[in-house]
Chains A and B, each alone.
Chain A
Amino acid sequence: MKQSAWYSPPFVVSLAVLLGVWWLATTAGAVNTVLFPSPQAVWGAAVELYRDGDLVSDLLVSLRRAAVGFVVGSVLGVGIGLLTARLAVFGQALHPILNILRPIPAIALAPVAIVWFGIGEPSKYFVIAYTVFLGVWLNTDHGAAHVAQTYIRASRSLGAGTWREFFEVILPAAAPHIVTGIRLGAALAFLSLVAAELTGASAGIGYRIQEARQFIRTDRMFVGLIELGLLGAMLDLCFLQLSRRLVHWEST
């Protein structure tokens, strides 16, 4: 598996081309800059937001929500995923419920969360944690349920007990799926973050995009979108590096 680093020439070139085309299209008058702002305008809006202090405070508020939701959702997802995969009682009891919950999108859940938890932080945590949980659970459950039979047979015939089998065989065998689930969970945290902030929030990147819509400030909206894109990409890169180290035997 080869992946170009952020500083690699192809990455820089593709970014430069994108910026170039964007700049040309907006300055040549090919598009309506009220609807599709120029890169300079977006930069200006970013500086403006930074001077107001909103850029940093929104970022921190959003990151905090994403982080709390991500951690809670991941811990529950891995824990319950291992239980549903390895203990028949849990699997039979929870699989149907979770499969019905899975298709419900975060955005549909946000209004319910507000009714349940109010417009404060808990409703945001809930929406994000819920979305992350389902993604992580699904992958963990699948990984831990499909551990190669020969590993389990080898472990048992080598005299390992239930606990050693769980921690030294099932957990590492499922680790590649769990790590994939957690990486997906990080992406889901950002997706559901915006869903959670679009209604009933007074700060955060999602809220700022929503606010900018009321003033048709597409330049400010773009700042938010680019922030989300960059944050998500950076986070994914971190998780990719981390997962390579964690499940090193998978990539070789």
Chain B
Amino acid sequence: MNMHEVASKTDRGVGDVLIDSSAVRYSSGGKLVDALPPTTVRLSPGSFTAVIGPSGCGKSTLLNAIAGFVPLSDGVIIVDGKHVTKPSPDVGVVFQQYALFPWFTAAGNVEFALRRFGMPAQERHRAVLSALEEVGLADRAKSYPAQLSGGMRQRVALARTLAGRPKVLLMDEPFGALDAQTRLAMQELLLRIWEARRTTVFFITHDVDEALVLSDQVKVMSAAPGRFIDSIDVTSPRPRSVEQIDDIYVANRRRILRLLRHSDQTETVEAASNPAHSRH
């Protein structure tokens, strides 16, 4: 049985994420910090949403909340009708620093995700190889993460997360640590895999081009406390390629860059005016 077919069949049409007035607040040194102000967003099934915004604006906090890693202090997050209270294999995560288990081989890492299905060992073994094949690393199955390059590690991490057949895929600057060329190759790979699977994706990035190449929709966040200040629909047709640049692309790019620059300025202005406020 071909695992990809099974995966695409079961994944299609689900992965509905509802983020309703969700806020994350925690106390640090006796002070309450608003890591995420009340936020409402919906990720429709099979959509690819990119989130871009300045460092520390709360986009990673939002991702961690959807993943069930950090508890909400307000609001709810609902994935396919279920409240998110803890991590679940329905919501897969690809981390920036790979988070591969260094004590397992590439195959062992992928197998870790497959173990929850309780399939026979032989079938599992085949599924491991086909998952690695999908990211072009079938020949490195027996390599340990330390023996792989950064790009290869992230490909194994992607294969591992996808092997668990998540309905929603969360990616926190997954290609941020890679060099420019490897990053382009990873974007191509992700486009190819995603266009075949159509899992709901929530993708955090600092890279405007990356956001525009990959996503259906780019959401721009302001500086902390981060709010969504704009949402840009990327209508460029699929299948896409990382080399494809059209007029829509250029216009969108200008719009996002302006928003980000503006958002940085408000941050600076606020910081500069704070001492004056405190004198009153």
A153 contacts which of B89, B93, B103, B104 (Cβ < 8 Å)?
A: B93
Q: Which residues of A144-176 are within 8 A (CB) of B?
A: 148, 150-151, 153-160, 164, 168-169, 172-173, 175
Residue of A148, A153, A154, A169 most packed against chain B (CB within 10 A): A154
Q: Determine whether the beta carbon of B113 is less than 8 Å from that of A158.
A: yes
Q: How close is B125's CB to chain A, nearest CB, in angstroms?
A: 17
Q: Determine whether the beta carbon of A153 is less than 8 Å from that of B87.
A: yes
Q: Determine whether the beta carbon of B115 is less than 8 Å from that of A164.
A: yes
Bitwise interface map of B from 96 to 121 toward A, beta carbon under 8 Å scored 1, else 0: 01010111100000001101100000
Please report A residues at the B interface, Cβ cutoff 8 Å: 148, 150-151, 153-160, 164, 168-169, 172-173, 175, 247-250, 252
Give the nearest-CB partner of B146 in chain A. A252
Q: Please name all residues of chain A whose beta carbon is closer than 8 Å to the beta carbon of B89 when the two chains form the complex.
A: 157-159
Q: Please name all residues of chain A whose beta carbon is closer than 8 Å to the beta carbon of B115 when the two chains form the complex.
A: 159-160, 164
- In the bound assembly, the distance between CA atoms of A248 and B67 in angstroms comes to 32
Q: Please name all residues of chain B whose beta carbon is closer than 8 Å to the beta carbon of A151 when the two chains form the complex.
A: 99, 101
Tell me whether B91 is interfacial, beta carbon within 8 Å.
yes
Q: Determine whether the beta carbon of B99 is less than 8 Å from that of A153.
A: yes
Q: Determine whether the beta carbon of A158 is less than 8 Å from that of B164.
A: yes
The 5 listed contacts between A and B (C-beta, < 8 Å) are: A156-B86, A157-B91, A158-B89, A158-B112, A160-B112
Q: Please name all residues of chain B whose beta carbon is closer than 8 Å to the beta carbon of A148 when the two chains form the complex.
A: 99
Q: Determine whether the beta carbon of A157 is less than 8 Å from that of B147.
A: no
Q: Please name all residues of chain B whose beta carbon is closer than 8 Å to the beta carbon of A247 when the two chains form the complex.
A: 103
A150 contacts which of B92, B97, B103, B113 (Cβ < 8 Å)?
A: B97
Q: Please name all residues of chain B whose beta carbon is closer than 8 Å to the beta carbon of A159 when the two chains form the complex.
A: 88-89, 113, 115-116, 164
Q: Determine whether the beta carbon of A150 is less than 8 Å from that of B99.
A: yes
Q: Determine whether the beta carbon of A249 is less than 8 Å from that of B144.
A: yes
Q: Please name all residues of chain A whose beta carbon is closer than 8 Å to the beta carbon of B67 when the two chains form the complex.
A: 153, 157
A-B contact count (CB 8 A): 67
Sample of 4 further A-B pairs with CB below 8 A, known A156-B87, A172-B101, A252-B147: A150-B97, A151-B101, A153-B93, A169-B101
Give the nearest-CB partner of B161 in chain A. A158
Give the nearest-CB partner of B160 in chain A. A158
Q: Determine whether the beta carbon of B97 is less than 8 Å from that of A160.
A: no
Residue of B88, B91, B97, B113 most packed against chain A (CB within 10 A): B113
Q: Please name all residues of chain B whose beta carbon is closer than 8 Å to the beta carbon of A173 when the two chains form the complex.
A: 101, 103
- In the bound assembly, the distance between CA atoms of A173 and B101 in angstroms comes to 8
Please report B residues at the A interface, Cβ cutoff 8 Å: 67-69, 86-89, 91-93, 95, 97, 99, 101-104, 112-113, 115-116, 144-147, 160-161, 164
In the A-B complex, the 3 residue pairs with the smallest Cβ-Cβ separation, listed nearest first, are A159-B89, A159-B116, A156-B87
Q: Please name all residues of chain A whose beta carbon is closer than 8 Å to the beta carbon of B103 when the two chains form the complex.
A: 172-173, 175, 247, 249
Residue of A150, A155, A164 most packed against chain B (CB within 10 A): A150
Q: Determine whether the beta carbon of B101 is less than 8 Å from that of A157.
A: no
Q: Please name all residues of chain B whose beta carbon is closer than 8 Å to the beta carbon of A169 when the two chains form the complex.
A: 101
B99 contacts which of A154, A168, A248, A252 (Cβ < 8 Å)?
A: A154
Give the nearest-CB partner of B147 in chain A. A252
Q: Please name all residues of chain A whose beta carbon is closer than 8 Å to the beta carbon of B99 when the two chains form the complex.
A: 148, 150-151, 153-154
- In the bound assembly, the distance between CA atoms of A146 and B144 in angstroms comes to 22
- In the bound assembly, the distance between CA atoms of A160 and B93 in angstroms comes to 14
- In the bound assembly, the distance between CA atoms of A163 and B129 in angstroms comes to 26
Q: Please name all residues of chain B whose beta carbon is closer than 8 Å to the beta carbon of A168 when the two chains form the complex.
A: 101, 104, 112
Q: Determine whether the beta carbon of A157 is less than 8 Å from that of B112.
A: no
Q: Please name all residues of chain B whose beta carbon is closer than 8 Å to the beta carbon of A172 when the two chains form the complex.
A: 101, 103
Q: How close is B105's CB to chain A, nearest CB, in angstroms?
A: 10
Q: Please name all residues of chain B whose beta carbon is closer than 8 Å to the beta carbon of A155 when the two chains form the complex.
A: 112
- In the bound assembly, the distance between CA atoms of A151 and B69 in angstroms comes to 12
- In the bound assembly, the distance between CA atoms of A248 and B143 in angstroms comes to 12
- In the bound assembly, the distance between CA atoms of A154 and B101 in angstroms comes to 9
Q: How close is B211's CB to chain A, nearest CB, in angstroms?
A: 23
Q: Please name all residues of chain A whose beta carbon is closer than 8 Å to the beta carbon of B95 when the two chains form the complex.
A: 150, 153-154
Q: Determine whether the beta carbon of A154 is less than 8 Å from that of B144.
A: no
Q: Determine whether the beta carbon of A157 is less than 8 Å from that of B68.
A: yes
- In the bound assembly, the distance between CA atoms of A248 and B92 in angstroms comes to 29
Q: How close is B69's CB to chain A, nearest CB, in angstroms?
A: 5
Q: Determine whether the beta carbon of A249 is less than 8 Å from that of B91.
A: no
Q: Determine whether the beta carbon of B146 is less than 8 Å from that of A249.
A: yes
Q: Determine whether the beta carbon of B93 is less than 8 Å from that of A157.
A: yes
Q: Please name all residues of chain B whose beta carbon is closer than 8 Å to the beta carbon of A156 when the two chains form the complex.
A: 68, 86-87
Give the nearest-CB partner of B145 in chain A. A249
- In the bound assembly, the distance between CA atoms of A160 and B112 in angstroms comes to 8
Q: Please name all residues of chain B whose beta carbon is closer than 8 Å to the beta carbon of A150 when the two chains form the complex.
A: 95, 97, 99
Residue of A155, A168, A249 most packed against chain B (CB within 10 A): A249
